[in-house]
Amino acid sequence: MNVGRWLGYLLIIATSLGAIGQTCPQSFTVSLLDRKSEKFATSLRLDVFQAKLGHDHLTISSLERLTMTRVVVLMDVSGSMQSFELEDSIKELLKEIPPGVSVAYGVFSKKSLFTEKFTSDPGELRALVDRVTTQYQLTRPGSGTAMVDAIHEALKLLEPPQAGDAIILASDGGDNSGHVSMSDIEREFQSRPVRLFVFLPGRPGNSVSPDEATSLNWLFTMAERTGGAAYPNFASNIRDWGWNRFMFMKAMKAFWLEGIPNTYVGVVGVPNSVKKPATWKLQLSKDAETKWVRPAIWYPTQLRPCGGPPTAAHEKALGRGTSAVAKFKPPPIPTPRQSSSWLQCRMRCVLPGLRPSRRRRW
């Protein structure tokens, strides 16, 4: 028996087992909303969550509340958005800026224009917003909506990326102009920790064109993957739409003043065996489940592979092409005669994972 050969085999096996057990640290953002009390968690600890990748448990090594957050508010001012009067509501919202949050503001239709810097001073932001709005009106950019291009420009403002960065998009989801593709934006989001939050004002009658359906479903997908959320307002008639719009505006304010400040950043150990984006699950621990009866957890649903640039398999897993834009059907909204608490939850609790094509009963 060749003892040296057997020792060599044992060494190879031991090395392989060690590599299997190795992990690389990866940061993630998380927010927790109690849908029963409609309050965001303000004090989270490590023992609140448990993470799994398939059947394997992942280790969360740290969890801290973010003290500084950059937010780009991106306002669609195209012709199709004028009837919603959402721009004035967004400006009213920005009169208050949560502690630790700095804001940049941008408008877009066929072209986009942004404020010159981030600021945490509401007065300064108001002046910057008015200046950008006036300048944009003077440029007369022409007809068309380049929503994907505007998201691309907003991502450039967040370079270099920082933990907790977010884009808040207020749009009806229309995109019929521009040069940047959806798959390009998917890769950009995958390479940096930026969350996407989407406010979709909707319209009575659920009148959604095929192009809008593609864009809307893509927005829901990107919000889910990045750890953001989408807030839709769809209704079957004008009466219901008016009521839902009230709840929609209320949800926007609660999200801005409570949701954005109560964001945490954690670190999870990702196995070195992960070679392409992998869907993982972050859920409450058994002890925490008794405290949070109806939890809504916002976190990025895909883990990045350990090291290296995106590969072809990586891009395929991201859902390039049409795989991320399946057929869209707006979720039904109850009438005002139904439970108002249900409406509040539906407007505020569109979770990552709850896509329009995956309707869920509350």
Instruction: Tell me the domain boundaries of the chain.
Output: 69-263+309-340
pLDDT at 159: 93
Alpha-carbon span 227 to 222, nearest angstrom: 9
pLDDT digits (tens, 9 = 90+) for 99-124: 999 999 999 998 999 999 999 999 99
pLDDT beneath 70: ranges in the chain: 1-21, 83-84, 202-209, 211, 233-245, 307-362
pLDDT at 177: 82
pLDDT at 169: 95
pLDDT at 59: 94
pLDDT at 234: 57
pLDDT digits (tens, 9 = 90+) for 53-101: 999 999 999 999 999 999 999 999 887 777 667 888 889 899 999 999 9
pLDDT at 226: 93
pLDDT at 247: 72
Alpha-carbon span 150 to 156, nearest angstrom: 10
Which residue type is seen at 303? Answer: L
Check if the beta carbon of residue 161 is closer than 8 Å to that of residue 194.
yes
Alpha-carbon span 336 to 360, nearest angstrom: 20
pLDDT at 202: 64
Chain mean pLDDT for the chain:
77
pLDDT at 5: 53
| Residue 357 buriedness (CB in 10 A; 0-12 / 13-18 / 19+) | middle
What is this structure's pTM? 0.79
Alpha-carbon span 77 to 146, nearest angstrom: 11
CATH code of the region 69-263+309-340: 3.40.50.410
Which residues face 198 on adjacent strands?
Answer: 169, 230
Neighbours of 71 (CB within 10 A): 24
